[in-house]
Amino acid sequence: YFVKQYSDRGLPGLEAHGLSALAESGIVKLPELINFDEHYLVLRFIEQAPRCRDFQTLLGRDLARMHKAATAKEFGFFEDNFIGSIPQKNCCMTDWSGFFIENRIDFQIERAADEQLSEGWQQLRRRVPELLAGTEEAPCLIHGDLWAGNVISGPDGGPVLIDPAVYYGHREMELGMTRLFGGFTEEFYSSYDAEFPLKPDWRERTNLYILYHVLNHFNMFGGGYRPQALSLMRTYL
C-alpha cells in the first residue's frame, strides 16, 4: 500500500473524490483507492516499470477519450478542492469564460494581493471573453494538475495519472498545463488530436491557461513567479 498523510483535515477526502471521478470514466489508469479518513489516504502501491515505447501516444489517446466521454452540463465540480496547497474554487457556471475569470484567475489574484499582478490582470480581464470566443464546448472532466510529475508508469509501462485537482472544465485548459513545464512530446499531442481533434488555433490560448498555474505557484512559493505571470499577461495586451 501507499499511504499519504495530510496535516489539514479533509484533504484526503477531496483527493479521494477526485480519483473516484476520474476512475468512473473507466478510461485513464489511476492508483486504486483503498480507504481514507480525515488525515490519511490509502492507495494501492504501484510497481513502476520502465515506460513503454508508446507511452506518450497512449497517454494522449486515453486523455482524449476521457475528455470526450466524461462531460457535464456545467463547468465546476460538486465541491471546492485544492491544487497543490492552494484552494481551488469550483462554483458551477454554464459560461466557460466567466468560470475561468471568476473561479480561476480572480481567486488567485485576490489571494496574491500583489499590486503589479492585480493591475496586469485588470487590463487582461476585459479581453478574456473575446479571447475565448468561438471555443465553446461541453464541459469535460479534467485531471486539473497535469504536469509531467503527475504521470507515472504502471507495471506494464503504460501511463498512470496521480495527484488530481479535478473539475469539469475546458479541455484546452488541461492541454495548456501540459506545456508549462514540458515532458509531453509531440507524439502525445498528435495522438490526442487524432482521437479528439482540437481547434487549429488552440495553442494561441495556451499562455492564458498557463497563467492560472503560474499564479498558483506564486501563491505557493512566492514572488519569483511574478515576472513570468506578468509576461504571460502581456502576451494578450
d(CA 183, CA 43): 25
**Residue 90 belongs to some domain of the structure:** yes
Give me the pLDDT at residue 97, please: 98
Work out the average pLDDT over 130-157.
98
Confidence at 8, pLDDT banded by 50, 70, 90: confident
Q: Which of 62, 114, 145, 163 is catalytic?
A: 145
**Residue 28 belongs to some domain of the structure:** no
Give me the pLDDT at residue 15, please: 96
**Residue 86 belongs to some domain of the structure:** yes
Give me the pLDDT at residue 26, please: 95
95 labelled catalytic: no
- pTM for the model stands at 0.96
**Residue 201 belongs to some domain of the structure:** yes
Confidence at 5, pLDDT banded by 50, 70, 90: very high
CATH number, domain at 144? 3.90.1200.10
**Residue 225 belongs to some domain of the structure:** yes
Q: Using the structure block, give the residue that is written with the C-alpha cell 479521494.
A: 16
Domain that holds residue 142: 48-234
Q: How many domains does the chain have?
A: 1
Give me the pLDDT at residue 58, please: 99
Give me the pLDDT at residue 131, please: 98
By the 8 A CB rule, do 88 and 14 touch? no
For residue 219, pLDDT beyond 90? yes
Rounded to 10 deg, the angle between the 206-221 and 226-234 helix axes is 160
**Residue 81 belongs to some domain of the structure:** yes
CA distances from 75 to 103, 134, 146, 164 (A): 10, 17, 18, 17
Q: Give the list of residues 6+ apart from residue 124 with CB closer than 8 angstroms, or none.
A: 233, 236, 237
For residue 194, pLDDT beyond 90? yes
d(CA 147, CA 38): 27
Q: Amino acid identity, residue 231?
A: S
For residue 198, pLDDT beyond 90? yes
**Residue 22 belongs to some domain of the structure:** no
Residue 73's CB: how many other CB atoms inside 10 A?
9
Work out the average pLDDT over 46-58.
98
